[in-house]
Structure formats: structure tokens, C-alpha cells
Amino acid sequence: MRCAPNPNGPWHVGHARMPAVIGTYRERYDGWFCVRFDDTDPETKRPDLEAYDAILDDLDYLGFEPDATYKASDRLETYYDHARDLIEMGGAYTCSCSGEAFSELKNSGEACPHRDKESETVLEEFEAMIDGEYSSGEMVLRVKTDIEHKNPALRDWVAFRMIDTPHPREEASEYRCWPMLDFQSGVDDHLIEVTHIIRGIDLQDSAKRQQFVYDYFGWDYPEVIHWGHVQLDDYDVKMSTSTISELIENGELDGWDDPRAPTLKSLRRRGIRGEAIVEAMTGLGTSTTDVDLAMSSVYANNRDLIDDETDRRFFVRDGNQIPLAGEPPAEAAPPLHPNHEDRGVREIPVGDSVMLEVADIPDAEEDGDRRIWLKGFGCFRFDDGVLRYTDDDIDAVREGGVDVVHWVPADESVPVRMRTIEGDVRGHAEPGVGDLEPDEMVQFERVGFARIDRHETESDDGDGDEETVAYYAHP
């Protein structure tokens, strides 16, 4: 099987579907798959030189290594050779009709005057195309199909055209005569011995077009499956390479790994494993209808993968500082993981005030007993803006009525900027978070999973304040 990307940028989440499915099939059926960059349009779909490696990198993130990698722009001579053979068989002709003129003839099922040229003439003109003697739009090579075919989309389609703009790859920059996808891909699929093709419904007619070439050469066409488009919920940004690219260009996104971008680089930075994406993608199947991928299913898969090994921490978003009263212990010691006491505890020095999330502060208007349990620490009653230690034991929680909340010490907490799909959230995390290694995953209790990205020193005011940057993964 093959994955045939157009190297015009790093992959968005939807691109993961192809490698996810064919990679999984490869494992299941002891198959083979390659990546073939179909980079045969140096102009309107101009390849981005960095995208080749970016895509292979994304593939690696998903957990796959292709058995082979090709670039169509390395294989022009092969396509030329096959075109020559086709011409000799009378299966193609050079045509200098304008696009509009041909389109009109085609739609009325009429052949153009170039169709009946001698193959010697065609060959000569095609060699001239290869030599770059025409400029863009002057001459094309058409495959002779059936000019009266009931589906107008299949009538005498273009196989090669002239492009004046040089290909960005130096190795291919001298070529001016470029094959169209249907010719290039059709020939390659046979030569590379692809047995099964999966492609989008936008290419539904490709197999039928290419069948004409296969018939001329006497080849058997691979099995084809067409699938619909994938959409993601949860994102404001449209899943389209060009849209994302524009947003990055004009500064609305920080880059391909901005958490607000629906890209693989972004998911990776948020600490979501490639495997979680692959599972969600294979679960979509291969139906021809358009499908909506719920990000929650990616998250559920990821949670399954990381929950057990991810330690717990406290992180208070937009906290309010509240003084403590009474005689609470000087230190709290909640476990790193509730299901793994052997991993030990986090020792959190408390000080004389804490920060709580606004939503967790007991409402003075209500008639409750206004007690809350600071998780891993103890029970307090909220009164007159002060949390007074009650010395109740945990039975107070078990009996009900006392909520357990997360908190951080006001003095020794670590400022955190957490980047999410919806934008940045600021707050404070417990002291130990400042010492975590970048790339480590944490679960901020009652908030969600996040990946520690880096520890920054704010240089603006020069006071050396540290800020930890985390990327939010999911609940």
C-alpha cells in the first residue's frame, strides 16, 4: 500500500488517517507500505521543501516507519518513458487546444483536430515538450480514452502539461514538462506494485481514468477503496493545511505546534501519543461518507495509555489567595498517584495562606457548614474570608457534605501558563512542578492532563521570575 502525500506542509490531524489505517493493515496482514511524495506540481501546489521531512517526522510520531520512500519528482524519466510507449500505441496525443476550447468540445462529446495525429508527430511534439520548447499552456499530452464516454470527467484527460516555474527541489528544477496526478500515480502504483489503494472520494474518478492507461499497457488495476472526509469537533481552526499556514503567517497561531491548531505537531506537544490517534483513526473505518472524529475518543485512548503512569499535581487556575487560621500542620503530603502509594508523596510546605479556584471557595450566602477539605492536607471552615483549621478527620468527607478541593500554597507556588485549545490559562502549581523535566506528563487533579513544556525566566522585568509553561492535553 502507499501513502501519497502532497508535501505542502506538516500534517494536520486528518492526514493521520492514511498511515494509521495502512500501517495497521501492514501489521495485521504482514503487508508493505511506502510513502510516495506526489510532488508533480511546482506551481499551484508548490511543494514546501521542509514538508518532506516534517511529514516523515509526523509519521514517526504516529509510530510508523515506511518500508520505502519515493519522490515523484525523482521519477520524471520513468513517466516520460511510459508516455512514449503510450504514444507509440496510439494511446495519447499532443494537443494545443486551450483549456476552455477543449472543455467545450469535450462536453459535447466531440474530438479535437489533434486527436488523429500520426504517432510520429505526437512523439516529436512530446519530445519538444520534454525539452521545454513550449511554455505553460501551449501544449499538453492527452490520453486517448473515449471522447463520447457518458461521464464527461473521463474524456481524453491531460497526462502531461508544461509548467514554467522550476520545481523547488534542485534535483528536479530543470524539468518543465510535468505529469498530472492521474498519469503519474497510475504508472507508479503499478511499478511500485501497489496492490491496494485507499484514497479520498475526491479521487473517485481516478481509477476509471487510469483504467484506460492500464488497459493500453495490459496491467491489472489495484483494489481501490474511497473514503470520505474527516472533520474534527473541538477546534475553531479549520483543518486545512493552507488555512493553518495562513494563520501562522499572519501571526494568529504561533506555529504548527500551537495548541489551537488541529495538527499532529500540536497534539504531540500536548503530550498525546501517536498511538491514541492511530486507534481513533482506525476506528473510523473506511466508509465513503464524511465522518466526524470526536476528539474525545482520541482523549479517551490517550487517557487509557497514560493515566496509570502519570503522577498527580495541584494546579489552581486564576486562584484567590485565602489566609489560613487555626493550627494546621506545616506540610501536606498527598500521594503522587492514588493507585500507586509506593511512588511516594509530594511534600508541600503550606505557609500561612493558600490559593483556591474561585469556584471552589465556599459560598458565604449559602447555609452550608462551609467546610472544605484541602486535598492531602486537612479540613477547614471558611469564615470571614479566612480558612480555619477544624482538625476534623477524613470521616468528615466520607460522611458527605464536605467537598474535596485542590489548592496550592500562596507563597511557594510556581506560576504556570497552561496553553489550551481555547487559549492560555494562567495559574499556580504546587512547588514540585518547577522541578519537573520538560516533556514530563502530569495530571493536574480535577483539571486534567498536561505536558510540561519548559520553564521560562521572564526577562522583561528582569526580576528573574520563573514561569512554567504546560500544554493541556485533555480531562
Partner RNA sequence: GCUCCGAUGGUGUAGUCCGGCCAAUCAUAUUGCCCUCUCACGGCAAUGACCUGGGUUCGAAUCCCAGUCGGAGCACCA
CB-based contact 312:443 (threshold 8 Å): yes
The distance of closest approach from Cβ of residue 288 to RNA in the complex, given in angstroms and rounded to an integer, is 4
State which of positions 161-190 bind RNA (CB under 7 A). Answer: 161-163, 178, 180-181
Helices (H) and strands (E) in the chain, counts: 12, 27
Please report whether residue 218 would count as binding RNA according to CB under 7 A.
no
Cell of 415: 506560576
> In the stretch 15-54, what mask flags binding to RNA with x, by CB under 7 A?
-----------------------xxxx-xxx---------
How many residues belong to the site for RNA (CB under 7 A)?
81
Q: Which of 14, 262, 319, 376 binds RNA (CB under 7 A)?
A: 376
State which of positions 60-119 bind RNA (CB under 7 A). Answer: 96-99, 102-103, 106-107
Q: Which of 247, 325, 386, 404 binds RNA (CB under 7 A)?
A: 404
Cβ proximity to RNA: between 398 and 460 the closer is: 398
CB-based contact 17:264 (threshold 8 Å): no
Cβ proximity to RNA: between 53 and 164 the closer is: 164
Q: Three-state secondary structure along 338-371?
A: CCCHHHCECCEECCCEEEECHHHCCCCCCCCCCE
Q: Please, which contacts does 424-428 make with residues 24 or more away whose CB atoms are closer than 8 Å?
A: 425/317, 425/318, 425/472, 426/317, 426/318, 427/315, 427/316, 427/317, 427/318, 427/319, 428/315, 428/316, 428/319, 428/355
CB-based contact 297:233 (threshold 8 Å): no
| Phi and psi torsions of 281, nearest 5° | -70, -45
Please report whether residue 251 would count as binding RNA according to CB under 7 A.
no
Q: Which of 373, 382, 471, 472 binds RNA (CB under 7 A)?
A: 373
In the block, residue with C-alpha cell 483549456: 99
The distance of closest approach from Cβ of residue 412 to RNA in the complex, given in angstroms and rounded to an integer, is 19
Please report whether residue 6 would count as binding RNA according to CB under 7 A.
yes
Please report whether residue 385 would count as binding RNA according to CB under 7 A.
no
Cβ proximity to RNA: between 28 and 150 the closer is: 150
Please report whether residue 146 would count as binding RNA according to CB under 7 A.
no
Q: Where are the alpha helices (DSSP H) in 63-180?
A: 76-88, 99-107, 119-130
The Cα–Cα gap between 429 and 414 comes to 5
How many residues are there in the chain? 475
The distance of closest approach from Cβ of residue 465 to RNA in the complex, given in angstroms and rounded to an integer, is 28
Closest CA to 380 of 359, 362, 357: 362
Please report whether residue 469 would count as binding RNA according to CB under 7 A.
no
CB-based contact 437:452 (threshold 8 Å): yes
Please report whether residue 430 would count as binding RNA according to CB under 7 A.
no
Cβ proximity to RNA: between 5 and 257 the closer is: 5
Cβ proximity to RNA: between 257 and 315 the closer is: 315
Please report whether residue 293 would count as binding RNA according to CB under 7 A.
yes
The distance of closest approach from Cβ of residue 164 to RNA in the complex, given in angstroms and rounded to an integer, is 10
| Phi and psi torsions of 111, nearest 5° | -80, 155
Please report whether residue 289 would count as binding RNA according to CB under 7 A.
yes
